[in-house]
Structure 1
């Protein structure tokens, strides 16, 4: 490869990495801390106002919602700690026993003002302020520096808006669906022949490891949900969050059922010993059915992650067709199993369990079931918001925002059907 092409490839890789969470967090945190320090040098009476960049560094998060909530809690924690220190300096001063009382009082106040993970910051601020002779001077300087750091951290998200992490969450969901598909295909291939129970148990362990994948997808989805909150660039943020969350819930149920199916295969392999896992015609039908369901799982993930503003009819039509085909194959499998049971087959309970489990996956992926689940989730979120902040709901109704949401909800329901 020529040298120019190598540099071009490296530059493209670097540009693709600019949206990664670690890169974004590093650059934005460094910029916010530097700006906060420069401003604090001019406004704070301290010669080295390091509290301002420290606050900015702790406040700036990947999403605007996290930055806002962390900024408010951190300012509350510092102010509470300073007030506790001033009170102790007026009453007892600094001794070993007053320090112990200060820490206990600061932690108690931190829990009372609900600063969550910044409870320890209340005690730290109180000890730093109480440990100097000019308490009033240092307390005022620490409050000023904290406010500077918090304001700069929140302003950083306005001037350097964080990315919306929906695409990353969507990629994680699709990646999970493809891993489920690969496992289903391997299990289907093995169902058509004779496998030792140890090999079937290995597939069971693979199904169990999908739980770790789900936790990673859930973390990516939580980040995407935070990036949609209080983001003026995003319309229909609630609908995006609910669609992705219900989609992940469905895939999680499918992985649980797949794990139960792998357990049934393992028990059946132990029971049948040296015989094939299923009789010939039944094994071939099971392989075909798992292949069709595997394709439907991926189509479901593509449908869930498709932008609501785009035309999702093709993805929905493909999923509907695949589920219809899988249901027909399932019915053929049911007929074969019924004939096998009438002929006096052994281990019919385990074979019947396989039929029950694949039926559950087909039902979970059904578009009507998904639409009903989505509506229930939207109704629940709407009720929780009305109960928590009724004044916000009244404002939304006056501005017509709630009507727009319900129109979009109805339109989405029509597309899902």
Structure 2
């Protein structure tokens, strides 16, 4: 999927193959030439296999290469899914064509009825994008003149041969499409860093009319555009599912790891939007606003945001360093921790200045909101969050790892404590009742 919004940064765009990590080199998306060659060879192989396996009917088994072309996808999982849908669609279309040809013959109105029936069956079977394959298959049967039971069986066998050939070809040379998703996440982090650094640089300079409104608009636009990575993330997750390659097994967590990074940056962007909105509110106050007109506050806020921008860059590097199941990104974690500590120190200086201004009678509600937004920005980037998420997705497999971890142990412990407390209370009540009986006796 083209990412028009995300442009490769200059210092990263010139990165050569020798400068990439082994994982980056191993997970590059197949080139167009490779994909064309694979599709061509798979289609030819399907045709030759169908000719060899199926009995000669005087007609070339063209459905076999056609099916092979349609079912071969980038990932093994998608190829299996398309194979099943294609076989179901072709079988349904062939059966409809044979029934109509034997029942009412071929005419314009029987063609219309067969198309209608095929579309209804495709909808009922929930074939999705493959729904049109049902009427297309029926019309191909009419065109090939194979609207009899032996001919229909041959067409179904051709489809099975084509689907099997495509599936085998995908298993033999499966693709690992983690690299595009990794680049998309890298671009998100770099664009986010550039946006924050731009705001920081603006705060280091003189105040300009409308600057906060421009920053708010850019932050909102970035929040809308960050969702463009979804397709690349889905491709990365699907490319390692059922993939027999050793490299794919090492990267089985790559998709969910990259998605976690994007979700973190989405939460970060929401906090950034809140900060720019607060700055825009300060700007709209005019002479009553002090945050953008006070040189000391501008400089300290710019310093804090510059530290956060460096932390975002470090987080982007960390998010790309723990994709493999055996990765131990100690250096990246240490770098992020150092950057976050620097940002915290600058945040503390800014907060002290804001408290001093508030004590002098300035607008504390606005200052407090800015201080909270800065805190949230830093909190989103803490190393502990990424480490806990990594531990979670490595411990879980399947659909459960995409969901938040349920505190089962905490619930069990709380239940045990409640039961023990209830038992203690019951025992105490019994002792009290016994003592009372003894007293009255």
TM-score range, shorter chain: 0.7 to 0.9
Match among 288, 299, 307 for residue 292 of structure 1: 307
* Structure 2 unpaired stretches of 5+: 1-16, 19-24, 402-441
Partner of 1:157: 170
Shift of 1:168: 2.9
Q: Report the counterpart of residue 227 of structure 1 in structure 2.
A: 239
Residue 114 (structure 1) aligns with: 126
Q: TM-score, normalised by structure 2?
A: 0.75
1:252-401 pair list within 5 angstroms? 252-272=266-286, 277-307=292-322, 308=324, 309-346=326-363, 348-373=364-389, 384=400
2:38 to 22, 25, 28: 28
Q: Is the 8 A contact 1:193 1:278 kept in 2?
A: no
- Equivalent residue of 1:235, what SS? helix
Q: What per-residue deviation string (whole Å, max 9, x for no partner) do you get for residues 356-391 of structure 1?
A: 222112111122233444566678865759xxxxxx
Normalized per residue, the structure richer in helix is 1
SS in 1 for 2:210: helix
Once residues 362 and 57 of structure 2 are traced to their aligned partners in structure 1, the CA distance between those partners, rounded to angstroms, is: 88
Answering whether residue 90 of structure 2 is matched by residue 78 of structure 1, we say yes
Structure 1 residues 124-135: aligned runs within 5 Å: 124-130=136-142, 133-135=145-147
After superposition, the CA RMSD in angstroms is: 3.0
Check 1:267–1:196 CA distance in 2 against 1; reply closer, same or farther (3 A cut): farther
TM-score, length of structure 1 as denominator length:
0.79
8 Å CA contact 1:192–1:277 kept in 2: the answer is no
Alpha-carbon distance, 1:40 to partner:
3.6
22-31 or 42-51: bigger deviation:
42-51
Q: How many residues align?
A: 370
Structure exhibiting the larger radius of gyration computed from Cα positions: 2
In the TM superposition, residue 48 of structure 1 has moved relative to its aligned partner by 4.0
> Deviation digits for residues 20-54 of structure 1, max 9, x if unmatched?
45444333222222322333444463534332222
Q: Which residue of 2 aligns with 1:6?
A: none
Q: Distance in 2 between matches of 1:382 and 1:37?
A: 37
What are the within-5 Å matches in structure 2 for residues 142-153 of structure 1?
A: 142-153=155-166
Mapped to 1, the partners of 2:256 and 2:187 lie a distance apart of 19
Asked if 2 retains the 8 angstrom alpha-carbon contact of 1:177 and 1:298, the reply is yes
Mapped partners of 1:268, 1:189: distance in 2 = 18
Q: Which residue of 2 aligns with 1:66?
A: 78
Distance 1:271 1:24 in 2: 60
For the residues of structure 2 that align with 1:180 and 1:46, how far apart are their CA atoms?
63
Partner SS for 2:73: coil
Unmatched runs of 5 consecutive residues or more in structure 1: 1-10, 386-417
CA apart distance, 1:305: 1.5
